[in-house]
Amino acid sequence: MRKILVILSLFIAFSSCNLKIISQEKVVVEKLANVKINFIDYDDLELLLNKNNNKTYVINFWATWCKPCVDELPAFEELYKNYKSKNVEVILVSLDLKKQVETRLIPFIQKHKLQPKVVLMVDPDQNTWIPKVSSEWSGAIPATIIYNKNRRKFFEQSFTYNELENELTNIIKTK
């Protein structure tokens, strides 16, 4: 069942009085800064974790408030950049609080110019969905799954770029 709870599209702009004096050029820049976040529940996540195609997926669970997660994000961005033309998808599943999307998550994505796709996991029943993601997962983040149709591996740890690339290539190599 494909059910997107809410698609939030937020246009970051200055207050309305500032907008009146904004130049044409400025408006274009603001539109480019448009950030879309899909809200997903467990059904959506399950689809995301079980795609049966020729791609390899790197799914990272993180949050803006999680320091080790933020520290390892550059590794995921670099992986995204280096492998996006090589049949690899990098998806960042945020576990930020729903009410902090506008105040924290979107400003964070803009500030760091995050390129990989970001989705927000909003399913509140964590005790049910955490074990379904992986029986090995305590619920601590960062956590990462790398999988393709042949193989899957779960990690409850932080990554450096080299470690991450190493795990990815191991999984791609496996037939």
Q: How many residues bind another protein (CB under 8 A)?
A: 22
Please report, for residues 14, 34, 49, 114, the alpha-carbon distance to residue 8 in angstroms, rounded to integers and kept in the order given: 18, 11, 22, 17
CB atoms within 10 A of CB 98: 14
**Residue from 30, 33, 70, 100 binding another protein (CB under 8 A):** 100
- Nearest CA to 11 among 40, 26, 31, 37? 31
Answer yes or no whether residue 137 interacts with another protein by CB under 8 A. yes
Cβ nearer to another protein, comparing 19 with 140 = 140
| 70: contact with another protein by CB under 8 A | no
| Cis peptide preceding 142, ω within 30 of 0 | yes
List 15, 138, 162, 175, residue binding another protein (CB under 8 A): 138
Stretch that binds another protein, among 14-22, 46-54, 93-101, 162-170 (CB under 8 A): 93-101
Supply the Cα-derived Rg of the chain in whole angstroms.
17
> In the complex, which residues of this chain contact another protein (CB under 8 A)?
65-68, 95-100, 122, 124-127, 130-131, 137-141
